[in-house]
Amino acid sequence: MTLCGLCQGIPLEDLPTFPRPDNIIALGPRQSIIALGYNDHRSSRDAPGFPHHPNIDSLRRASAAGCGLCHILEDQVNRMILAMEEPQNMPSELVARHPRFDLWFARRFNGGDGFVVLTPSSAPRGSGYDVLVVAVMVFCCDEADPLATVFRGRPPKNTLDTAACHRFAGWITDCNNQHRSCAMPPGPLPTRLIDVGLEGSGDLVKLVEPGEETRGHYVTLSYCWGGDRTSATTRLNAASKKEGILLQDLPQTFQDAIVMTRALHVKYLWIDRLCIYQDDSQDWERESANMGSIYGNAYLCLSATSAANSREGLVPSRKTRSSVSLPHASNNCQGYIEACLLPTSSDFVKRNSLELNEEPLSRRAWAFQERLFSRRSLLFASDKVYFVCATHIISEDGIELTDRPEAGYTNEYPYRLIANQSKCGPVPHEITRARWYRLVALYSRRCLTFPSDKLPAISGIAREYGKVLGSAYVAGLWGNSLVEGLTWQPLGRCRAVHEYRAPSWSWASVDGMVDELYREIRPIASVLDLNVDVDGDNPYGRVKSGWIRIEAPLFPLFLVDYEGLVAKGSTGLQTIDGGDEGFYLMFDTISNQLHISRDLIKTMRLFSLVLAEYVGIGIKGWYFSLIVTPAGDDPKTLKRVGWHIGAQSQFGPRDIHTTKSIITLV
């Protein structure tokens, strides 16, 4: 593919650096349009780099004539125009001031190899958005190219070949040798492991039991089962697996993990399906309770992020990226580099964690704590491979992110902050509990193959939080802040579970997303007694039953139709003495649409159990309550079915704080 005269004249090795913006906003579908603003109106907006095409017509002519780079840029311009023709994607001030589409080249803002293509906005200077990003491109080259010593980026591949394995292994070795906070000395080993041998050992591996005193390095695998249970270890076949397992008898993801482990020169690999007896409930319970230490002590976690099952392998079949080959000379080396198109948000949208929310593994509940506990992870995503440690994130195409807090994933992974408390001093329990509830909200977005795993799949993290909080763990909540924990809220309608999994007052009793549980409230209710019977030896795992004896205001509720705080057609409840205005409410698993649930609600005796008063700025005088109903024949034994908020006047003339009953919540 040829290049036009303008593209041939771009000084790729000596592009100007465009001033770092004061304001950045990501707009449009998938944050695809990046607008940059400057507080200093004297910034040279009219010449933000090396000049390229002066207008869109010139760009289109060069693209039509066969210029590969101009073709990519024309496609980006067309995407911008299409997105900006949809006003719902853009703020009005940006819709009214389209890009000028004279193009300028500059160095990437984050120091990465490649360049950014910019265009000034037609808005008046200083109006908020001075420059728009047209494209971000990264330089990549093959290992055999002379420029490989200059550019660290490599084109993402669709196979796990020897060169790729050795490159990834180099990342981990450098991390272990150069990052003080990441170094991993040999540590305790899990009960069972797969002995993979050395690189080139052949087609046979075996199951081993190293013994409690043995120390060493091992790799873990995080993956989606996808309904596939082939090659699972049981009590019956364990002896034969200790004799040897043929690689060809294992699913592709396991085979790839063995190849990668050998490339790391690590002897052992841990895979749950092979290292836990799948027909022994006691062994499963014991090993699943140790997930925190298994993943936390691992030398590396291999994450099959993009695979929906164990047959797909670590490396997916990837979509071809838009790219163009460019001649380049640097440090007395000459060759060709591949300029690959990146998402425009990659250089400008700051993240404290690597978010891969659309990947299959990111929807799996068990994988949540697997990633949290892993000190180092090699993530095989659908677009490229990422290496993540406590110091940085580096990707296959050479992008490196190092401007993160040393504590790690501050937004998505609260456990890492506990692990670093020794560095930053003690963290108040209130903050630690808030982080736990944030974590629960994130965990609730994930799915389980077996609904009964709701509490076990987060039990490893709960165990670590329990060490810090020093509190009893009660079916997903903490005993020393139980009233606060009871205020969890479903995000939309959750699904009821058919088999008992947790008390109705626990977020673990429903399937679906829940909101953060910790908020600015002052408890009114008092917990008098509580009990949770666990199912097995893991105090953070499955439960058989649970109840709370609680003293709190209790008000009967009845159904009304009204147009107030809730949308027309939704369900409304009010107290007998509280006037005509109903509460804003949400049921947990019952539809909030009156035409769907009216008949069911009319058969229920409903009560408002007032738990706490809001104390945040602007919401004082409002109360948080559970909607409860009798769980059986005993009118004082109730179960949760929803929640609501309301003002004092909505409860009637009686003082909420002095009107209390003692009930048992199950």
Q: Work out the average pLDDT over 291-304.
A: 95
* Percent of the chain residues past pLDDT 90, beyond the cut: 50
Q: Please, which pLDDT band fits residue 571 given cuts at 50, 70 and 90?
A: low
Residues 590 and 468 in one domain: yes
Find the helix or strand (DSSP H, E) in which 77 lies: helix 68-84
Least confident of 71-80, 530-539, 615-624: 615-624
Question: Does residue 79 sit within a domain?
Answer: yes
Residues 17 and 76 in one domain: yes
- Report helix angle 162-178 to 252-263, nearest 10: 50
Rounded to whole angstroms, the Cα distance separating 662 from 598 reads 29
Residues 644 and 509 in one domain: yes
Residues 433 and 497 in one domain: yes
Least confident of 9-18, 205-214, 476-485: 9-18
Residues 397 and 535 in one domain: no
Residue-averaged pLDDT of the chain? 85
Q: What number of other Cβ atoms are within 10 A of residue 71's Cβ? A: 19
- DSSP annotation string for 537-601: S-TTS-EEEEEEEEEE-EEEEEEE---SSS-TTB-EEEETTS-SPPPEEEESSS-SBHHHHHHHH
pLDDT tens across 522-568, in order? 999 999 999 999 998 899 999 999 999 999 999 999 887 655 444 55
Rounded to whole angstroms, the Cα distance separating 100 from 119 reads 6
Question: Does residue 150 sit within a domain?
Answer: no
Question: Does residue 107 sit within a domain?
Answer: yes
Q: In this structure, what is the dihedral angle of CA atoms 436, 440, 441, 443, given to the nearest 10 degrees?
A: 130
Cβ–Cβ < 8 Å for 554, 546:
no
Residues 566 and 456 in one domain: yes
Q: Please, which pLDDT band fits residue 44 given cuts at 50, 70 and 90?
A: low
Residues 523 and 379 in one domain: no
Q: Please, which pLDDT band fits residue 21 given cuts at 50, 70 and 90?
A: confident
Q: Please, which pLDDT band fits residue 25 given cuts at 50, 70 and 90?
A: confident
Angle at 497 between CA 493 and CA 503, to 5 degrees: 95
Q: What number of other Cβ atoms are within 10 A of residue 609's Cβ? A: 23
* Best CA proximity match to 375, nearest among 621, 180, 122, 162: 180
Question: Does residue 416 sit within a domain?
Answer: no
Query: DSSP letter at 109?
Result: T
Q: Please, which pLDDT band fits residue 262 given cuts at 50, 70 and 90?
A: very high
Strands 268-270 and 218-222: parallel
Rounded to whole angstroms, the Cα distance separating 478 from 461 reads 13
Q: Is 262 exposed, middle or buried (0-12, 13-18, 19+ CB in 10 A)?
A: buried
Residue 414: its pLDDT value, please? 47
* Best CA proximity match to 612, nearest among 645, 578, 572, 653: 645
Least confident of 39-53, 111-125, 407-421, 475-489: 407-421
Whether the predicted model's global pTM rises above the 0.85 cut = no
Predicted confidence (pLDDT) at residue 415 exceeds the cutoff of 50: no
Per residue in 324-360, is it b (16+ CB within 10 Å) or e — as a string? bebebebeeeebebbbbbbebbbbbeeebbbebeebb
Rounded to whole angstroms, the Cα distance separating 510 from 589 reads 8
Residue 26: its pLDDT value, please? 75
pLDDT tens across 361-392, in order? 999 999 999 999 999 999 999 888 999 998 88
Count of structural domains, the chain:
3
Cα–Cα separations (whole angstroms), residue 343 to 6, 265, 526: 24, 35, 52
pLDDT tens across 216-250, in order? 999 999 999 988 888 999 999 999 999 999 999 99
Residue entry with tokens 């780079």: 69
Q: Please, which pLDDT band fits residue 411 given cuts at 50, 70 and 90?
A: very low
Residue 98: its pLDDT value, please? 74
Q: What number of other Cβ atoms are within 10 A of residue 491's Cβ? A: 14
Rounded to whole angstroms, the Cα distance separating 371 from 658 reads 47
Predicted confidence (pLDDT) at residue 591 exceeds the cutoff of 90: no
Question: Does residue 418 sit within a domain?
Answer: no
- Phi then psi for residue 59, to 5 deg, are -60, -45
Question: Does residue 154 sit within a domain?
Answer: no
Predicted confidence (pLDDT) at residue 153 exceeds the cutoff of 90: no
Residues 27 and 130 in one domain: yes
Predicted confidence (pLDDT) at residue 505 exceeds the cutoff of 60: yes
Summary count for the chain: helices (H), strands (E): 17, 34
Q: What number of other Cβ atoms are within 10 A of residue 644's Cβ? A: 24
Residue 354: its pLDDT value, please? 65
Residues 89 and 183 in one domain: no
Residue 407: its pLDDT value, please? 28
Rounded to whole angstroms, the Cα distance separating 311 from 332 reads 46
Residues 367 and 452 in one domain: no
Query: Residue 532 has which token pair?
Result: 């949770």
Give the domain extent around 562.
426-666
Query: DSSP letter at 10?
Result: -
Residues 184 and 100 in one domain: no
Residue 405: its pLDDT value, please? 35
Predicted confidence (pLDDT) at residue 633 exceeds the cutoff of 60: yes
Locate all alpha helices (DSSP H) within 207-348, ordered by sequence: 238-243, 252-263, 272-275, 281-288, 291-296
Question: Does residue 152 sit within a domain?
Answer: no
Question: Does residue 329 sit within a domain?
Answer: no
Cα–Cα separations (whole angstroms), residue 408 to 292, 355, 381, 462, 466: 17, 13, 20, 19, 21
Residue 562: its pLDDT value, please? 55
Residues 313 and 437 in one domain: no
